Amino acid sequence: MARRPKYLRAWYGIFPAAMLALAPFALPLYVMTLLTEALILGLFAMSLDLMVGYTRLFSFGHAAAFGFGAYASGWLLLHTQLPMLCAVPLAALLAGIVAIGVAWVCTQATGVSFSMLTLAFAQLLYAVAFKWTSVTGGSDGLAGIPRRGGPFGFDAFSSRTGFYYFVLIALAAALVFCWALVRSPFGAVLRGIRENEAKTLALGYNTRLYKIAVVALAYGLGGLAGALYAPFAGFANTELVFWLFSGQVLIMVIVGGSGTLIGPILGAAFFLVVEHQLSNYTEAWALGFGLIFIAFVIFAPEGIWGLLTERLGRAGRSVR
C-alpha cells in the first residue's frame, strides 16, 4: 500500500473524532445508546487486538476481563459510595492485577494450549459468578447498578449524553495509549514475538515477561470496557463471562481487521449494527450473521479495515 500524504492521514484521525464528539447534537437518543454500546464493545475488541493482532496470543477467554470489570464496577457502585470516575478505573485496575496471575499461568503454554488455558480461567470465573450468589447475584446477576456522577460537577456524566462522553473519552485515551504502545520499543518486541518468538528470545528479550505484560494490559483495558458496561446497561450477569461472548469479541477483532487497533473498533460497531438491523428484519438474524461472517473469513481476511485502507490508499494515490 502506498503511503498517503501526511495532511490526508491527519484528516483520517481528526474527522471521525470530531464526528463522534458532535454526534449527540445530531443523532436521536436511541442511536446514541447504540453508539455508546458500540464504543464500549470497540474498546473491548481493541484490548483483545493487543494480544491477537500484535502478539499472536489468541485469548479464548477475553470475556473474563469484560465480565470481571463489569462485576467489579457494578459491585463498587452498588455497595460503596464511590463515584463512577473512581469505581470504573479501579475495576479496570483490579482486572489488570488479577490478570497478571492468570497470565503467569497461561503463558507457560503456547499456541492452542494457551487459548484453552485462557478459556479455562474464563469458565472458572463463570462458575464463580454463577455460584457465588452473595457477591455476584448468581444467575440473576447484579441489577440496578447506578451511574453515580460524583461531586465537583462530574454529575454531568450520569446523564445519557454525559455518559456517552465519558465512554468516548475512555476509548480515546485507551486508543492513544495503545497507539503509542505498539509504536514503542515494547511494541516492537511484541511484534517480534508475533513473527518469531524463538528468535526474539535469542535476541535476549525475556519474551514470557513481555507476554505477561501485554496480557495484563489487554485484560486491564478489557476490564475497563466491562467496568463501563455495568453502569451503561445497569446490570452485570453471567452472560458477560460466558465463552460465547469471548468468541464474539474474537469475531469483532478478525472481522474488523486484527493488528490495526482501529479495525477491531469498526468490527465491534459492525457486529452491533448488523445484529441490530438483522434482528429488526428477521428473527433468524444469527443465520445471516453466520453467513456474513464465513464470507468475511474466506474473501476478506484483512477485515473491514483492510478493505477500507485499500480504497483509501487508492484515493490517496489519486490525490497525489
Partner 1 sequence: MSLFAFLTTQSLNALSQAALLFFLGVGLTLIFGIMRIVNFAHGTLYMLGAFVGYSVARSTGSFWPALLLAPLAVGVVGVLFELVILRRLYRREASAFLMVTFGLALVLGEIVRLTWGPEALQVEPPQAFAGIVFLAGEPFPTYRLFLVAAGIIIAVAIWQLLDRTRLGLIIRAASQNPEMVSALGIDVNLVRSMVFGIGCSLAGIGGVLAAPLVTASVGMAARMIIDAFVIVIIGGMGSFLGSLIAALLIAFTQVFGEYYLPDFALAFMYLLMLLVLVIRPGGLLGKEA
Residue ranges binding partner 1 (CB under 8 A): 52, 58, 105, 108-113, 115-117, 119-121, 123-124, 127-128, 130-131, 243-244, 247, 250-251, 254, 284, 286-287, 289-291, 293-294, 296-298, 301
Measured from the CB of residue 13, what is the shortest distance to partner 1 in angstroms? 28
d(C-alpha 116, C-alpha 184), whole Å? 30
Q: Which is nearer to partner 1, 92 or 102 (CB)?
A: 102
Which of 29/105 has CB closer to partner 1? 105
d(CA 207, CA 210): 5
Q: Which cell goes with 178?
A: 495503545
Place of cell 460465547: 244
Q: Which is nearer to partner 1, 117 or 225 (CB)?
A: 117
Q: How far apart are CA 26 and CA 73, in angstroms?
A: 31
Question: In sequence order, what DSSP letters do the residues of 148-215 get, joined into one string?
Answer: ---STTGGGGGSHHHHHHHHHHHHHHHHHHHHHHHHSHHHHHHHHHHH-HHHHHHTT--HHHHHHHHH
| Shortest distance in whole angstroms from residue 278 CB to partner 1 | 11
Task: Please state, in angstroms and rounded to a whole number, the distance separating the CA atoms of residues 223 and 63.
Answer: 9
d(CA 121, CA 102): 7
Query: Could you tell me the smallest distance in angstroms from the CB atom of residue 254 to partner 1?
Result: 6
Q: What are residue 235's DSSP bridge partners?
A: 143
Between 26 and 244, CB nearer to partner 1: 244
Q: How far is the CB of 60 from partner 1 (least distance, A)?
A: 9
Cβ closest to partner 1, residue 36 vs residue 238: 238
Give the SS3 label for residue 235: strand
Smallest gap from Cβ 237 to partner 1, in A, equals 15
Q: How far is the CB of 234 from partner 1 (least distance, A)?
A: 25
For partner 1, give the closer residue by CB, 286 or 315. Answer: 286
Residue 45 in contact with residue 249, Cβ under 8 Å?
yes
Q: Residue 69 class from Cβ within 10 Å (0-12 exposed, 13-18 middle, 19+ buried)? A: buried
Q: How far is the CB of 148 from partner 1 (least distance, A)?
A: 32
Q: Of 16 and 301, which CB lies nearer to partner 1 in the complex structure?
A: 301
